[in-house]
Chain A
């Protein structure tokens, strides 16, 4: 299985730009969806699929593939955009986003979409699933790893911390978490909804190895992935500081675009900006 796509930093950045355009197109065409958290996550998604994950488009369920678990499953346009780049989805598949019978369900779904390893939708569940994948890989003495992306608002779910504790207790070195610290959740800024203070410190206090990065700097993204890869005696967490809606001026840091589609004028403006 090929590890990543053999792309250098500038090629990864170009891929991220194409993905950003597709994210906005998908949400605009569907008239609904979650552009903000897709745009904040996309550089890391590109880093993972373009630089690191061993997956096989010819055999999406291959037993020894790495797993990617998008726990904040509403950021599905970001996942579909990157799966499209990796060859799991066609141009026409992307037009099925939120449409009846298509692979691109509103929230990522392993039963509908090739290359998706986890059916998400309820926040807080992905890390636990990733730990299950990690324990299984350990039992199999396989080198496959499980990469889990969590939203920062999602950290308010108690189940996340059940998993954070369990990953350390079971010394799961093959589970890597990425926290998309974009600072905004459904209703408002995270700090207004439930203050979380220092997220890195929280993970570290449970015994995780933690690294903080700028989640929109592709070089930092790639380096952080390599760093997490080399942590093998326990779980690793990358807290990436991001901007919700990154790349589209009127969406950036705007709680309104957590889960709203752009108007026609806004769509045109976004397409002009994303070049």
Chain B
């Protein structure tokens, strides 16, 4: 796939998708005083009748969304990833348990969020929501894929959590190539047989750079956009276990319980092969620029290269 130019933040794609659903009166948007940040404000400006602002009260928002969903509406509720977590029990008992189709969007996820500091940098959201039965968990890499996957959620038959990111990264998709995105199916961006790099969110870009660096050293890597953490694309993982025999996972998230955790859990019980996890080690973030923090936390392409070599050595 050719590399598209320009950059986009996945939160912008979420907002763009909401705008594309304006003509569907079943779609309602809920927000908790962060519409300008999550980009639900774009929908509100065009369709205030179907936008419910609930103030700084995330717990209430989750159940209001559930009530509307049981009345045949399709709620898209957003806040920061970290603030959704204060409503975990509401999401668990009020949405996931009765399998009520509410679509949650947690923006500003990961340390990429930057200067706001560790209180705003959720590095555990994917792990938390992945534990809930019925939940789909998605983390798109750029604005175009976030838009496409959000649009697909309108027809999705179970609740979901989508993490979006605040900052722009180079785009991995064009409007045309976004057509191959499908919830629950990874997208292969580079095809090599030495190692498979499974990445999500802003780390897909780092994985693509890592692939080029590895190529210069004669190492051929597969790079997959694993935008859906749950349900995991197990068929693709099986195929890559056979073909590459080694994995690197890359995520702007704790190495505990997220994409790396999910893939590890799967392969260890199926076709065990070596795996290295690139992600936030068991620590909190701090204030700093996105790039500075990614350097500090070991989330750069060079870290993926190191992990790739290490895992190939372990084959």
Contacts and interface: CB of A to CB of B under 8 A. Distances in A.
Report if A and B associate in a common complex.
yes
Interface of A: 63, 109-111, 117, 119, 121-122, 124-126, 128-137, 139-140, 146, 158-159, 162-163, 165-166, 169-170
Contacts of A158: 59
Interface stretch (B46-54, B137-145, B225-233): B46-54
Contact of A111 (B57, B90, B98): B98
A132 B68 CA distance: 5
Contacts of A159: 57, 59-60, 63, 90
Interface stretch (B37-45, B69-77, B210-218, B302-310): B69-77
Given A132-B71, A133-B71, A140-B71, A165 B98 contact: no
The 6 A-B residue pairs with the shortest CB-CB distance in the complex, in nearest-first order: A132-B67, A128-B63, A136-B71, A162-B60, A162-B57, A132-B64
Contact of B63 (A110, A111, A125): A125
30 contacts: A63-B71, A119-B93, A119-B98, A121-B93, A122-B93, A125-B63, A126-B63, A128-B60, A128-B64, A128-B90, A128-B94, A129-B64, A129-B94, A131-B60, A131-B64, A132-B65, A132-B68, A132-B69, A132-B70, A133-B68, A135-B52, A137-B71, A159-B57, A159-B59, A159-B60, A162-B55, A162-B57, A163-B63, A166-B54, A166-B60
A129 B67 contact: yes
A165 B71 contact: no
Range for the number of chain B residues in contact with chain A: 20 to 34
Contact of A136 (B54, B67, B90): B67
Interface of B: 28, 49-50, 52, 54-55, 57, 59-73, 75, 89-90, 93-94, 97-99
B93 A125 contact: yes
A162 B54 CA distance: 9
A143 to B, nearest CB: 13
Given A131-B64, A159-B57, 8 more contacts: A122-B89, A122-B90, A125-B59, A125-B63, A128-B90, A132-B69, A135-B52, A166-B54
